[in-house]
A and B are shown apart, each in its own frame.
Chain A
Amino acid sequence: MSETTSETEKLPLDSWHRAKGARMVPFAGYEMPIQYAGASGGGIVAEHDWTRNSASLFDVSHMGQLIVSGEGAAEALEQLVPGAITSLKPGRVRYTLLLNDEGGILDDLMITNVTSWVEGDEEAGEEGGWGEPTYYLVVNGATKWDDIAHLREHLPDEVTLTHLEDRALIALQGPNAATALGRVMRGVPDRLTFMQSLDYQFGEWDLRITRAGYTGEDGFEISVASEFAEPLANRLCAEIEVRPAGLGARDSLRLEAGLPLYGHDLDTETDPVSADLMFALTKKRREAGGWKGHEALVERMAGGAETRRVGLVVEGRQPAREGARVFHGDKDVGRITSGGFSPTLGHPVAMAYVARDYAELDTKLEIEVRGKRLSAVVAPMPFVPHKYYRGEK
């Protein structure tokens, strides 16, 4: 996501953040909390650690929430994303990518099948059935307007695109997220495993609750009408496990989790092969094609890309940041796209795109930072293991 336009807008929780002592910064066209003052000094590391050890509430209302509906909606979406959507069952969520004709990544997004069950009329002898095919998309804040234009241009007329501009999105993330949410909304966590989603009527509020997130921890994303965002945030933060966390912690958490950030680790110069996101494509869709970018990517899917996104563990304490060049001996072999200090691990980590010959695990590389070379080694991601809840084993 790219930062700052000259005009920034306020999100539904703006005054709530300020009352909690947030430091607000421009991000994706909005004023957003980067960190909070907090009782114990607050700050990014405290919020990061609290998320890993308990649960944090993140306001991610800058993200775009869209509905794509109508007969043929799944087939139409499948022409624009390489993920399998027609086989996505109601209540299931899929991570996928919007691609251009060259196979470049326009955005990464979550698609949920939110098609509802329509009860039949027993007296009339009618059976129940699935209603109009309906998909809920969550896209990046900085790219949402371009995404909407792209979808409008390419979706057929019989498929309707609706931008849910009057809804906020709240993420509750951490090992205690399920405990806290379960106390507020009894039974809800038990009905969901990772990448599942449901509609939930909480009093008079229509919520859409998804078990997913961007921290590597178990957690939920809750879509709520903007007018109820503040009472919902208060209700969740009233739980002893939950504290607010800002964009700073969100960034260090997702970096540890090996999750790419659009505008930094992904852009139109990258593709699913070079970005190492091929897990988002089923074998069938890879082979059958029928999606934007497929033709351009056929060769790369078979033979690999010239550069690849890798994880780097950096020696010492000095972080290597976005933009730093990566070397193998005298040879410039790549570039850091995200980097920082990992609070959980106590050393710096980074994501980089490096030439394919240097992308193997354990390859020793060097990163140039302010004229000095830092030693680094290609390491598996996630740097910190994911703890998604996939059900009782």
Chain B
Amino acid sequence: MARYFTEEHEWIDIEGDTATVGITDYAQEQLGDIVFVELPEVGSTVDKGKDAAVVESVKAASDVYAPVSGEVTEANDALEDDPALVNTSPEEDGWFFKLTLSDKSELDGLMDEKAYKSFCDGL
């Protein structure tokens, strides 16, 4: 399984054609206490770079853009009851949604963990 990262602080796990998407620990730290997550509907398609989800912290609402395009196959229902999972376990239990990749070449140019870490260090 390969994990990729975006400059918008999302992570993407790839297993075959399936991508699991979430936001990084750095992102949740910046957002603060998360009280609500609006996820895309299963069966809908998301386009790379376009709105896919919304994260509401106590402070403000923030858009989460789709890091890759595809059809949404699953949304993390656990976030409905416990949105704070995004704070406590952003890169595991606090995943947002899964999708079937429509264009694997969109993964080109995304960062690996090491590159993402140095990207964050430079912020």
User: A residues bordering B, Cβ < 8 Å?
Assistant: 34-35, 43-45, 48, 248, 252, 317-319, 321, 340-341, 343, 348, 370
Complex: how many Å from CA A319 to CA B59?
A: 10
Chain A nearest CB, measured from B28 CB (Å):
10
Within 8 A of A (CB), among B30-63: 32-33, 35-36, 38, 54, 56-61
Please indicate the chain A residues that have their CB under 8 angstroms from the CB of B35 in the complex: 317, 319, 341, 348
Flag if A318 contacts B59 (CB, 8 Å): no
Contacting pair B60 A321 (CB below 8 A): yes
Query: In the complex, A343 Cα to B84 Cα: how many Å?
Result: 12
Listed residue (B35, B57, B83) with the most chain A CB atoms within 10 angstroms of its CB: B35
Known: A317-B35, A370-B54. A34 touches B60 (CB 8 A): no
Q: What residues on A are CB-neighbors of B57 within 8 Å? A: 44
A318 vs B39: C-alpha distance in the bound complex, in angstroms?
12
Whether A319 pairs with B56 at a CB distance below 8 angstroms is yes
Judging by beta carbons under 8 Å apart, are B54 and A44 in contact?
A: no
Q: Are A248 and B38 in contact (CB under 8 A)?
A: no
- Which residues on B sit within 8 Å (CB–CB) of A341? 35-36, 56, 58
Pairwise interchain contact A318-B36, C-beta atoms closer than 8 A: yes
Give B contacts to A, CB under 8 Å: 32-33, 35-36, 38, 54, 56-61, 83
> CA separation between A317 and B57, bound complex, in Å?
11
Contact A34 B59 (CB under 8 A): yes
User: B54 to chain A: which residues have CB within 8 Å?
Assistant: 370
Cβ of A43 and Cβ of B33 under 8 Å apart? yes
Distance between Cα atoms of A44 and B33 in the complex (Å):
7
A370 touches B36 (CB 8 A): no
Given contacts A317-B83, A370-B54, contact A44 B60 (CB under 8 A): no
Chief secondary structure at chain A's binding surface: mixed
Contacts of A343 in B (CB 8 A): 33, 58
A35: chain B residues at CB < 8 Å are 32
B5 CB to closest chain A CB (Å) equals: 22
Across the interface, A248 reaches (CB within 8 A) one of B36, B58, B61, B83, namely B58
Alpha-carbon separation in the docked complex, A317 to B36 (Å): 6
Query: Besides the contacts A44-B57, A45-B58, A319-B61, what 8 more A-B pairs have beta carbons closer than 8 Å?
Result: A43-B32, A44-B32, A44-B58, A248-B32, A248-B58, A319-B35, A319-B56, A341-B58
- A318 and B58 contact, CB distance less than 8 A: no
- Give chain A residues whose Cβ lies under 8 Å from the Cβ of B60: 321
Q: Which residue of B lies closest to A249 (CB)?
A: B58
- Which residues of A are found within 8 Å of B32, using beta-carbon distances? 35, 43-45, 248
A319: which B residues are within 8 A, CB to CB? 35-36, 56, 61
| Inter-chain contacts of A348 with B (CB < 8 A) | 35
A321 to B35, CA, bound (A): 13
Chain B residue at smallest Cβ distance from A35: B32
Q: List 27 A-B contacts (CB under 8 A).
A: A34-B59, A43-B32, A44-B32, A44-B33, A44-B57, A44-B58, A45-B33, A48-B58, A248-B32, A248-B59, A317-B35, A317-B36, A317-B83, A318-B36, A318-B38, A318-B56, A319-B35, A319-B36, A321-B61, A340-B59, A341-B35, A341-B36, A341-B56, A341-B58, A343-B58, A370-B38, A370-B54
With both beta carbons as reference points, the residue of chain A lying nearest to B63 in the complex is identified as A370
Q: Which residues of A contact B36 (CB under 8 A)?
A: 317-319, 341
Give CA–CA (A259, B55) in the complex, Å. 26
Which residue of B32, B36, B60 has the most chain A CB atoms within 10 A of its CB atom?
B32
A18 to B98, CA, bound (A): 39
**Those 7 A-B pairs whose CB atoms lie nearest each other, nearest first:** A341-B35, A45-B33, A44-B58, A317-B36, A318-B36, A43-B32, A341-B58
Residue of A nearest to B80 (CB): A317
Q: Once bound together, how far apart are the Cα atoms of A319 and B54, in whole Å?
A: 11
Chain A, residue nearest B81 (CB): A317
Report the minimum CB–CB distance from B26 to chain A (whole Å).
13
Write out the residue numbers on chain A whose beta carbons fall within 8 Å of the beta carbon of B33: 43-45, 343
In whole Å, how far is B38's beta carbon from the nearest beta carbon of chain A? 7
Q: Which residues of B contact A45 (CB under 8 A)?
A: 32-33, 58
> Please, how many angstroms separate the alpha-carbon atoms of A317 and B38 in the complex?
10
Return the chain A residue nearest B51 by Cβ: A370
For the complex formed, measure the closest distance between the CB of B89 and the CB atoms of chain A, giving whole angstroms.
Answer: 14
**Cα-based distance from A248 to B61 in the complex (angstroms):** 14
Cβ-closest chain B residue relative to A341: B35
